[in-house]
Structure 1
Amino acid sequence: MKKTSATTTAMIAAAMLCCGAGAHATDRFDDEQLARVVDETIRPLMKENGVPGIAVAITVHGKRYIFNYGLASKADGQKVTNDTMFEIGSISKTFTATLASYAEARGELGLSDPASKYLPALAGTPFDEISLLDLGTYTAGGLPLQFPVSVTNQESVIDYYKGWRPTYAAGTHRLYSNPSIGLFGHLAAKSMGQPFADLMEGTIFPAFGLTSSFITVPQDRLGDYAYGYSKAGKPVRVTPGVLDSEAYGVKTTAADLIRFVEANMDGTRLDETLRRAIAGTHTGYFKVGVMTQGLGWEMYPYPARLDDLLAGNSSQMALKPHKVTKLVPPSPPQKSVWVNKTGSTNGFGAYAAFVPASRIGIVMLANKNYPIPARVKAAHRILTTLVSTPVSAGAR
């Protein structure tokens, strides 16, 4: 949505209508402050990085704001709207972690169980000694960022895992890995006796009230599915790959993703099993520098230093192994933390962050894979502004 000084008031009114909040005179001033900060942050970011479209959703004490910028499709000039779906890349891992934690809360699996328990084909391999927790926290012993190009189907996936040998003892080093958390999600689904995509679309998304979140976008919603854009400016969408659904397969709207963030901060409206599942994803299992690794989510002491966030979300953190300190016992969920996750595909770039103690959160979904530092800086600026200049919190 193009926003100028002449349309800011209309945009705010639409945001207020979207979240069902009534406006008072003082609310209006605060809402316009927020709109101005978002505008002054996002427009330069888009220009500097050549991003066609961005949707930003913010939650403040349970009150939701959505800001839309630019185009979902350059070919036909389709604008980004509240219904626009984006690929969220590795933010999908937080949903995968939620499914696994949900399975644990239901008694279907134990995080300390060996991976081979749920996939007998891996019996007699190092996966007899690698736990589900190791897979879910990238500490299995050196599984790489991606599968080799030769791994293209279920048979070659099994062969790959059977032939793989760890570089490190399980639970000693973190190496960010799609094959690691992909297998984690696959085994979690097997423990529940259903395909991963069916569980996600039939159980997890509906449980959080997400109505525009999919692994496979249905035919009647393809018109809302944004095109991503490569570095060369070509329209692209994610291509199928092994364990892609588990590692980076979710497509969703900013409105749905901010609802998921809200549930992560305050699960009182969820049933007990889901509340336990969320708590499980916020449990700290390993320390890597300042960052605490949970299941899917990554946590930092709050107030969060921008330098710490940039280091924790850096390419070095993603591409290189790091020795970890195992937390024994695991750290229970904390309120005064900055919780975040980045996500990227070839044509999309996303970031989600929230602070439970302050009840603030943000998601930024873009149809270009622009640099992660720019995402982190933008979100940090906006959320820091919310704390230093509180925004009114109207009723839901």
Structure 2
Amino acid sequence: MKKLFTKRMWAFAAAALLCGTSAHAADRVGQAGLERAVNEAIRPLMKAHNVPGMAVAVTAGGKQYYFNYGVAAKEGGRKVDGDTLFEIGSVSKTFTATLAAYAQASGALSLTDNAARYLPQLAGSSLGKTSLLDLGTYAAGGLPLQFPDAVTDTDKMVDYFRNWHPRYAAGTHRQYSNPSIGLFGYLAARSMGQPFDALMEKTLFPALGLRSTYITVPKARMGDYAYGYAKDGKPVRVTPGVLDAEAYGVKTTSADMIRFVEANMNSAGLDARLQQAIAGTHTGYVKVDDMVQGLAWEMYAWPAKLDSVLAGSSPQVVLEANPVTRLEPPLSAPASMLVNKTGSTNGFGAYVVYVPAQRIGVVMLANRNFPVTERVKAAFRILAALEQAPGGGRAAASM
């Protein structure tokens, strides 16, 4: 395990950032240069991985730029545009984490509470003693990536959790898990006395100013809902499952996602509790090598090494249990961090990355699940251009 960053190291990173190319260097590259950089990152990727369509949004210095590629559905050739809705897979977890942090800011729960407090059926079980924080950081003791096939409804979910036995002591290992953060969101909603879907669509999304973000796409917007494409090339959309909304159920546009990114970089103007919640999701609780785990968000000291970010999204980190170093006290999110999250469903692939101190960010939404490594590499190419992106104007481009 690599050493934790000390306060001195964080200060050094921040100083290096402020002395480097930040917002004042933005004037060096025009919109055409940014467009060229995005095209050079995205077009070869789409060709190499047979991606039918992508929507890319970038932000630099508070200005947004949109780039749309290909088709939202092969049949009929409907082009990707600003209204196209994509499944974002596990990027949905960042919304789940925001809701849970909002519940804490509202006094409905504490992350130190155990699971049984909000789901009494778990009383006396191993998982019932587990804290909400350990659930939200995948450190409950080895919950698997997915539920077993036999878990098909809420009653069977409760039975599964009640009878589950950890492989590790809670808080000692990180094992990426849909059931873990799914239960985290489910319990957060119970603490607020409303269904999870309703809290997301009627409270959280509107509070964030997101007008095209859904758990269930309304009938009036189904025409904007892209089809994803599986490995065999057939059109697919996500199928319902237990805790699907909490773990991977959000559908949204690139414009709404870049707005969410900007709220995460600067929450001024939002409700005070929501500001507190957003900051809470950026708090670092455990560390696996160079990756700091917040609530859903995964973070790296900036300037970040591409190899470190690739390692943090590797099968060894995503599919296996990894021993963690607990951050005591938790690391209050310094601005000099790269913050990111990947997400996939059978037919879609998404990646979100941003650097608050630089005021730059990238959203990539695709209707094919292509390799995470290629998403990260493409985003890093765009980030390099965004460090010098223009500070004026709002652009959109379709290819």
Distance 2:247 2:355 in 1: 24
Deviations 1:50-93 (A, max 9, x none): 00000000000100001000000001100000000000000000
Deviations 1:19-58 (A, max 9, x none): xxxxxxx979600000000011100000000000000000
Change (3 A) 1:298 1:28: closer
What's the counterpart of residue 393 of structure 1? 391
Distance 1:147 1:315 in 2: 18
What's the counterpart of residue 123 of structure 1? 123
Using the TM superposition, give the Cα deviation of residue 127 of structure 1 relative to its aligned residue in structure 2, in angstroms. Answer: 2.4
What's the counterpart of residue 219 of structure 1? 219
What's the counterpart of residue 101 of structure 1? 101
What's the counterpart of residue 235 of structure 1? 235
Unaligned runs of 5+ residues in structure 1 are: 1-25
Change (3 A) 1:206 1:48: same
What's the counterpart of residue 279 of structure 1? 279
CA-based RMSD of the aligned residues comes to: 1.2
Distance 1:226 1:328 in 2: 44
Residue 357 of structure 2: SS of its match in structure 1?
coil
What's the counterpart of residue 258 of structure 1? 258
Distance 1:230 1:392 in 2: 37
Q: How does 1:157-176 map to 2 (within 5 A)?
A: 157-176=157-176
Unaligned runs of 5+ residues in structure 2 are: 1-25, 395-399
Distance 1:136 1:239 in 2: 23
What's the counterpart of residue 6 of structure 1? none
Using the TM superposition, give the Cα deviation of residue 386 of structure 1 relative to its aligned residue in structure 2, in angstroms. Answer: 1.9
What's the counterpart of residue 190 of structure 1? 190
- Greater RCO (Cα-Cα under 8 Å, separation 6 or more): 2
Distance 1:128 1:76 in 2: 50
What's the counterpart of residue 4 of structure 2? none
Residue 68 of structure 1: SS of its match in structure 2?
strand
AA partner of residue 393 (structure 1): G
AA partner of residue 320 (structure 2): K
AA partner of residue 170 (structure 2): A
Give the share of equivalent positions with the same residue, in percent: 64
Distance 1:135 1:250 in 2: 20
What's the counterpart of residue 291 of structure 2? 291
AA partner of residue 229 (structure 1): Y
Equivalenced residue count is 369
What's the counterpart of residue 58 of structure 2? 58
Q: How does 1:1-396 map to 2 (within 5 A)?
A: 30-387=30-387, 390-394=388-392
Distance 2:329 2:310 in 1: 28
AA partner of residue 392 (structure 1): P
Using the TM superposition, give the Cα deviation of residue 392 of structure 1 relative to its aligned residue in structure 2, in angstroms. Answer: 1.7
Residue 358 of structure 2: SS of its match in structure 1?
coil
Distance 2:176 2:40 in 1: 33
Using the TM superposition, give the Cα deviation of residue 129 of structure 1 relative to its aligned residue in structure 2, in angstroms. Answer: 2.2
**Contact 2:336-2:357 at 8 Å conserved across structures:** yes
**Contact 2:213-2:250 at 8 Å conserved across structures:** yes
Residue 215 of structure 1: SS of its match in structure 2?
coil
> TM-score w.r.t. structure 2 length?
0.91
Deviations 1:121-180 (A, max 9, x none): 000101232100000000000000000000000111011001100000000000000000
> TM-score w.r.t. structure 1 length?
0.92
Distance 2:196 2:298 in 1: 23
Distance 2:365 2:48 in 1: 16
Residue 328 of structure 1: SS of its match in structure 2?
strand
Distance 1:240 1:395 in 2: 41
AA partner of residue 258 (structure 2): I
**Contact 2:128-2:162 at 8 Å conserved across structures:** no
Distance 2:393 2:45 in 1: 31
**Contact 2:29-2:389 at 8 Å conserved across structures:** no
Residue 357 of structure 1: SS of its match in structure 2?
helix
Using the TM superposition, give the Cα deviation of residue 108 of structure 1 relative to its aligned residue in structure 2, in angstroms. Answer: 0.3
AA partner of residue 83 (structure 1): D
Distance 1:287 1:177 in 2: 16
**Contact 2:127-2:164 at 8 Å conserved across structures:** no
Residue 76 of structure 2: SS of its match in structure 1?
coil
Using the TM superposition, give the Cα deviation of residue 316 of structure 1 relative to its aligned residue in structure 2, in angstroms. Answer: 1.4
Residue 109 of structure 1: SS of its match in structure 2?
coil
